Each structure stands twice: as C-alpha cells, then as structure tokens.
A = this chain, B = another copy of it.
Amino acid sequence: MSFAISGVNCAAATPLNADLTPDLGLFTAHCKSLLANGCDGIALLGTTGEANSFSRGERKAILEAALKAGIGAEQLIPGTGLAAAPETIELTRHALSLGVTRVVILPPFYYKGVGDEGLFASYARIIEAIGDSRLRIVLYHIPQVSGVPLSPGLIGRLIEAFPDTVIGIKDSASDLANMQAIVAAHPNFSVLAGADPLLLPLLKSGGAGCITATSNLVADSLRIVYDGVSDPARAAEVEAAQARINAWRSLSNSYVQIPTIKAMIGLKSGNTGWNRVRPPMLPLTDSQLGELRGKFEALP
C-alpha cells in the first residue's frame, strides 16, 4: 500500500488576538511545536481551526504566515472548502500558488439533501475549474456539522473519476464500520480518522492515519500509536498512548469542544490568550475554566 497522505496530522486550533483577529505569531509557534511533538502535517483551517468564522482574506493570511514562518508547504494541509464553489476554487488556487498542493475540501454545506449526483457535480466542477495536476484533495465527511454526508457511493465515483486528485478522506463521523468499508473498497485511498479515539482501531483496519483535534494537545501520544501499531512488542505502550489520548479527548468534550480544546492548549502552554474564540463560539466561563483546570491537572 502506498498512501498519498498518512500519519498524524493536527486539525490545528487558531489562537486569536484580543480583537478576535488571528494571532499569527502564536499560531505559527503552535504549528511548529506540533511538528516538534510528533505531527507529520498541520491540517490548518479546519472545523477546529474555526476556519468557517474567518474571511477568505484571513484564511489566506493564516496559510501565508505558516509558510513564512518556515513550515514546509508539504507539511500544510489547509481546509479550502466553502459553501460557494467559486470561493472554494479561489482558496484552493491560492494554496496551489504557494506550492501547497494538499487541501481538505468540505462539500458545499449550505444546501441539504442535494444527493450524490449534485455533490459529484460540485466536486467535479471545482477540480476541473482548477485544472492543476498537482492538486491533491482530502474529502471531508463531518455530517454532524456540515449536514452534508459523503456516501460510500459518492466517494467511489470521485476516486474513479479523479484517481490522482482525490486521495483521501477525513472521516469525522466516528463510525468505524463506515471507515473500514471505505478502506476495504479502496485500499490505496487514505482514510484518516477525524476522531482521536478511532486512530488505533482504524490503523489496525488499514487506515492511513488521522487529522484530529486532540493532537493539538497530545501529538506525542498519537505519534506512539501511529509508529507502534504494527510492532507486537510495543502493544502495551500503544494501548496506553491511545488511552491517554482518549482521556484528553474526553475532557475536551466536557463543554463545547472548540473553546474547550483552546482552553486546554492555554492551560498546557500557560497562555490564556488561547481562551479566545470567535462568535458563534463563546469562551468558557470562569466557572467552567476553574472546573476544567482541576480535571486538566489530573489528566494522564
């Protein structure tokens, strides 16, 4: 098997300044620390990154800042999928213009119940309009947020029509059986767990890796799981690492996930600026933060 994308990739959170603009300096420092702590790639500007609360201009500035800070184009996997195809095309072309060839693309997420034919037409139109043989797309299945599921049939059609371009899927639906079915049907296609607890079981089923939120906090443990999964001698270490990941993930789900993950990065790094989120997200309350701090200190 050879995957076009694999390993441990972080759905990086985006720190904000007091005026709720992106804190580019803190963001790029965070990305570098993620890479130093075991991540293979930074899937910036995803759901966890609050990308859909930023303007296109802000999104471009965030990607450019990462490159300018010295992170390699091959380590960056930005989300570029918007509701309107022309804007998805614009953001994807912008990434390609910077040498960033791997992107995560949501389906058009405003209209619901449009069907596989319509979603296929939308992705096809985007790929054909961009017309760049370097482009590598990770599909994004997160129906509980987008409201637009990507069916196995649609995935198969896209792989068949664009085998060099449609290289993988970030599956955040937390349905292991669905991921296993995609792996079985398309062995060289990269199925990436979007939910941390499924990293180990997915890898055991032939999955390619992950793009997850908890890797903002415990990238080192995700690295252990990914590197050790095939080594029987490391089984206990791998199980322990996955258990640690699950404990951190579980705490991050105590309140609304994105502000909680950011608050936990703040607790870990000692920088309370991480508590900021952009509406419609709200920061944790002082009482929630106090409660979180107690539980945080007890984490493995």
Contacts and interface: CB of A to CB of B under 8 A. Distances in A.
Nearest to A89: B55
- State the number of copies, please: 2
A190 to B, nearest CB: 24
Contacts of A147: 112, 147
Nearest to A106: B110
A119 interface: yes
How many residues of A sit at the interface, in one of the four size bands? Answer: 35 or more
Interface stretch (A2-10, A224-232, A274-282): A274-282
A144 B85 CA distance: 21
B114 A55 contact: no
A49 to B, nearest CB: 12
A155 to B, nearest CB: 16
Given A114-B256, A147-B147, A256-B114, A108 B280 contact: yes
B53 A279 contact: no
A84 B53 contact: yes
A112 B279 contact: no
Contacts of A83: 52-53, 82-83
B282 A108 contact: no
Given A85-B279, A279-B118, A52 B125 contact: no
Most buried by B among A56, A84, A86: A84
A191 to B, nearest CB: 23
A86 B58 contact: yes
Contact of A111 (B113, B119, B125, B280): B280
A117 interface: yes
Interface of A: 47, 52-58, 82-87, 90, 107-115, 117-119, 121-122, 125, 144-147, 256, 258, 278-282
Given A55-B90, A111-B281, A118-B279, 14 more contacts: A52-B110, A53-B84, A53-B110, A54-B86, A55-B87, A56-B87, A85-B279, A107-B280, A109-B109, A111-B258, A111-B280, A117-B282, A118-B281, A119-B280
